[in-house]
Amino acid sequence: MSLSRIWKVLRKDLALGPRSSIFLWAIVLPFALTLILQVAFGSLFDPKPRLGIVDDGDSSITAAIEDMDGIELTLFDDAGELKTQVEANDLDAGLILPQGFDDEVRDGEQPTLQFFIGGESYASNRIILTVTAIDLVREIEGSDAPVTVDVVSFGEAGLPMSKRLIPVIVFYALVMAGLFVPGSNLVEEKEQGTLMSLLVTPVKSSEVLIAKWLLGVILSVVLASASLALNGAFGANWAQVLVVILVAGALSSVLGILAGVYAKDSSIMFAIVKGSGIFLFAPTLFYIFPEWPQWIAKLFPLYWIIEPIWQVSVMGEGLSTVWVELLVALGITAVLGAAAWWLAKRMQAQMAGQ
């Protein structure tokens, strides 16, 4: 086996890769999914209460709300513009604080508080903003709240949907870059006859497979890392995250090599990817719906790379927590790699006999 020949094949694939629509789509997909799932669905499932304020007297209410992380605040100079935004449901509520409002409250004069509610705002957001406004006015007055609320949490706090969607985004980065790109590249070379031309040179079939596998590993590691970084999930333990992604890239890429060796043409390759899609995607559903029985996810091969990514990047755990999963993933990679090598020998013999 020659490292020089492997590098030459890999360099050729990297240079010609951008000419392929599949190669380009694998690069674009993680960024497109991040935009769609995190911006659209993330804001849908985890909406912050949106409050607009017209403050003519530098009220302490405005300053207090500005310091709150859970409320999206917009300041206006014109009351008419504020009302327009609330009527258009661009804001959940609007509050007008006239000049001297705080002093009148302290003097017990009971000034009028203009508070507007959007007709399509979430009921939960209405409650949050209304109770917050009442509590802040009561603080200005100096009176105690009529009740004391003792919040008791049962079980672990749930993660926001934006976090639970991260395995979905990383999954597509791994499958497109690690599985589809090297697999389709191998099939294209079969169809165009370049693979046969390559194999009559000193280049061995095992060297071709390793070069294609490395192509998938490089792309999947880069794009999975970019996906995690875009979604704020790379974390401080970036070195451990890279180790996990490297193992994930190795497994997803060997799946691509196995599919590429087995498929005789592009139609069979697409049929394999489409037919196995739900089987490969299934483990990610258990992160979106954590109430499902988690042991079922372990029946699917990509669970053993998605779970370490989830634990190390999203949950902030160390490699010591996921070493069993990583060993299983490496074992699966070795078995599938041996199967791909055996099929490649048969493929080369069939091509030589044609």
147-156 average pLDDT score: 45
**Residues 309-337, mean pLDDT to the nearest whole number:** 91
When mean pLDDT is compared across 28-42, 44-58, 68-82, 143-157, the lowest value belongs to 143-157
Nearest by Cα to 6 from 182, 204, 177: 204
Where does the chain show beta strands of DSSP type E? 50-55, 72-76, 93-97, 114-117
Tokens of 282: 């299934």
Residue 353 has pLDDT above 80, yes or no: no
Q: Give me the pLDDT at residue 147, please.
A: 47
Token reading at 126: 């209405």
How much is the pLDDT for 264? 83
For residue 108, the model assigns a pLDDT of: 82
pLDDT in tens, 233-275: 776 788 899 999 999 999 999 999 998 888 888 888 888 878 8
Say whether 97 sits in a helix, a strand or coil. strand
Q: Which residue has the higher pLDDT, 168 or 216?
A: 216
Q: Say what the pLDDT of residue 326 is.
A: 94
| Domain spans in the chain, listed from the N-terminal domain onward | 3-42+160-353, 47-141
Residue that wins the pLDDT comparison between 83 and 57: 83
Cβ neighbours for 208, distance < 8 A, ≥ 6 positions apart = 9, 186, 195, 198, 199, 344
pLDDT tops 50 at residue 149: no
CATH T-level topology, domain 47-141: D-Maltodextrin-Binding Protein; domain 2 (3.40.190)
pLDDT at 44: 46
| Dist. CA 215–CA 238, nearest whole Å | 22
Question: Residue 157's pLDDT is what?
Answer: 46
Q: How many CA atoms lie within 13 A of 349 on its CB side?
A: 6
Mean of the per-residue pLDDT values of the chain? 83
Q: How confident is the model at residue 9 (pLDDT cuts 50, 70, 90)?
A: confident
Long-range contacts of 187-196 (CB under 8 A, 24+ apart): 187/260, 187/263, 187/264, 187/265, 187/266, 187/268, 187/269, 188/20, 188/266, 190/264, 190/265, 191/265, 191/266, 195/351, 196/351
What number is the average pLDDT over the span 293-320? Answer: 88
| pTM of the entire predicted model | 0.67
